[in-house]
């Protein structure tokens, strides 16, 4: 956070936005084409899109494939699943 000329504390988006990023979170919030992406368009009971991803192990500090696959539909059959994504690039 930085202070502006009026002494107000401002959040410095550039301090954690990669140099090669074409947009900051502020840019995305101002872009009407991107505004819908920040608001979920789901209702109670709606099904998530199914996907499969390789399971990775980072225990050694580096990425290592385990040979296993995470399949959302298989997990969701057994119990509720909450997926939280947080990225703006």
What pTM was estimated for this model as a whole? Answer: 0.44
C-alpha distances in Å from residue 45, one per residue of 10, 42, 48, 80, 81 = 39, 8, 9, 11, 12
Encode pLDDT of 36-75 as tens digits.
Answer: 766 677 788 887 788 999 999 999 989 999 999 999 999 8
pLDDT of residue 5: 60
3-7, 15-19, 56-60, 74-78: the lowest-pLDDT one: 3-7
Encode pLDDT of 20-36 as tens digits.
Answer: 888 777 787 788 877 77
Domain boundaries, the chain: 2-78
pLDDT of residue 9: 59
């Amino acid at each position: 956070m930085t202070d502006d000329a009026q002494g107000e504390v401002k959040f410095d988006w550039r301090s954690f936005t990669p140099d090669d990023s074409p947009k900051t979170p502020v840019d995305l919030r101002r872009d009407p084409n991107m505004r819908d992406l920040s608001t979920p368009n789901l209702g109670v009971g709606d099904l998530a899109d199914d996907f499969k991803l390789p399971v990775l192990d980072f225990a050694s500090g580096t990425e290592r494939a385990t040979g296993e696959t995470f399949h959302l539909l298989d997990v969701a059959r057994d119990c509720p699943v909450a997926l939280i994504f947080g990225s703006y690039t």
